[in-house]
Amino acid sequence: MDRTREDGNNNPLYLDVVAACSEHLEHKIKIVGGQYGLSSKEFTPNMVKGCYDNLASENPIRNFVVGIDDDVTHTSIPYDEPFDVLPPGTV
């Protein structure tokens, strides 16, 4: 997960991790990365759940965006409506 958005289809942290793993690992692994907090959006618990739902899917989006509707690359992942993670009575 990275908060940076670069021109093109991939973010810098994702590319660094893919490069490092391809050089140092003998077996292939699936690497999934994403961008959050774009346009100063908050990264909320329901967006975190959306990221985990993407990971658990049969074909996760490898380089996704969460929190905005990306109408350029169409890599936005869905997430549920906001929910409260604090127990009742928490001050």
3-state secondary structure 51-69: HHHHHHCCCCCCEEECCCC
Report yes or no on 88 lying in a domain. no
Look at the chain and report how many structural domains it folds into: 1
Residue 89 lies in a domain: no
Round to whole Å and give the CA distance between 50 and 43: 11
The pLDDT, as a whole number, for residue 46 is: 94
The answer to whether residue 10 is domain-embedded is yes
In a domain? residue 29: yes
> pLDDT of the chain along its 91 residues, tens only?
887 766 665 678 888 888 888 888 888 788 888 888 877 788 899 999 999 999 999 999 988 889 888 778 788 999 998 888 888 899 8
In a domain, 90, yes or no: no
> Could you tell me if residue 86 is inside a domain?
no
Annotate 48-64 with b (16+ C-beta within 10 A) or e (fewer).
eebbeebeeeeeebebb
CATH of the domain at 9: 3.40.50.920
